[in-house]
């Protein structure tokens, strides 16, 4: 799965394709409107498109054989996602659900491929992008695997702060509401465990909550817990 962000205004930590590439992409995409709660695609659908979120929120989820669901990724205004390797794994292995009403730009794989084929420099740009995405996934793998569930949770909170956080006098407010259960699905823990870990962190004044929004009070402590390596912000993100 691939994630690019085109819109500079949403997230300062994100690298961007050049204006030239952006324009070229916009030219080959067509618009689609999706209602909140409906799906862009399902597991098993042919993966021959990229999706550019003009407006709204999309989550990628996967259902496990034992009925649970986990979250692979959440996308925002300006993000681009989908599969590029059309020639081999031709099906999606996950579901994409609109969390809000969305306006989506759809790019046909074929059209993109022609574009890339003709413009080596755009292809190189895309290549660097997917390389970055690979680094992001790789760093998630490390964070979610090697320091227990508490480490996984803390690193996820840091990533959320980097992706959706806004600083203020009291710390960093994470402007995206997430349920405990969703955090659990994201890190592979139960809702209850997440709940207890968050309570602990609140007790230690590392975390706080304000009308449903998470506030990071002590980023350094969070970093300690997950053995943060201070990766560049482009990599340490959702």
Partner DNA sequence: GTTTAAGTGTGATTTTTATCACATTTTTCA
Partner DNA sequence: TGAAAAATGTGATAAAAATCACACTTAAAC
Binding site for DNA (CB under 7 A): 148-150, 179-181, 188-193, 195-199, 209, 211-212
3-state SS string for the chain: CEEEECCCCCCCCCCCCCHHHHHHHHHHEEEEEECCCCEEECCCCECCEEEEEEECCEEEEEECCCCCEEEEEEECCCEEEECCCCCCCCECCCEEEECCCEEEEEEEHHHHHHHHHHCHHHHHHHHHHHHHHHHHHHHHHHHHHCCHHHHHHHHHHHHHHHHHEEEECCEEEECCCCCHHHHHHHHCCCHHHHHHHHHHHHHCCCEEEECCEEEECCHHHHHHHCCCCCCCCCCCCC
140 binds, among its own copies, DNA, none (CB under 5 to 8 A by kind): its own copies
Q: Which of 38, 100, 145, 209 binds its own copies (CB under 8 A)?
A: 145
Stretch that binds its own copies, among 6-14, 21-29, 85-93, 168-176 (CB under 8 A): 85-93
Q: How far is the CB of 129 from DNA (least distance, A)?
A: 33
In terms of CB distance, is 40 or 198 closer to DNA?
198
If the CB atoms of residues 14 and 77 are measured against its own copies, the closer one turns out to be: 14
CB of 217 to its own copies, least distance (A): 22
The binder of 135, among its own copies, DNA, none, by C-beta within 5 to 8 A per type, is its own copies
């Amino acid at each position: 799965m691939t994630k690019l962000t085109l819109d500079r205004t949403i997230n300062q930590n994100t690298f961007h394709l050049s204006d030239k590439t952006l324009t070229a992409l916009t030219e080959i995409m067509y618009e689609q409107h999706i209602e909140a709660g409906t799906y862009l695609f399902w597991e098993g659908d042919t993966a021959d498109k990229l999706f550019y979120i003009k407006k709204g929120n999309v989550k990628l989820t996967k259902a496990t054989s034992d009925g649970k669901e986990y979250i692979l990724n959440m996308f925002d205004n300006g993000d681009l996602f989908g599969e590029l390797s059309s020639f081999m794994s031709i099906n999606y292995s996950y579901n994409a659900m609109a969390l809000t009403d969305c306006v989506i730009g759809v790019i046909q794989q074929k059209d993109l491929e022609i574009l890339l084929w003709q413009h080596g420099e755009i292809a190189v740009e895309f290549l660097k992008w997917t390389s970055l995405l690979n680094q992001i996934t790789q760093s998630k793998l490390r964070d979610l695997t090697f320091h227990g569930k508490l480490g996984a949770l803390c690193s996820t909170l840091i990533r959320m702060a980097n992706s959706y956080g806004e600083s203020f006098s009291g710390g960093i407010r994470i402007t995206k509401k997430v349920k405990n259960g969703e955090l659990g699905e994201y890190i592979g823990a139960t809702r209850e465990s997440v709940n207890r870990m968050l309570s602990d962190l609140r007790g230690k004044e590392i975390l706080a909550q304000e009308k449903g929004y998470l506030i990071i009070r002590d980023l350094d402590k969070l970093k300690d817990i997950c053995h943060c390596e201070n990766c560049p912000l482009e990599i340490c993100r959702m």
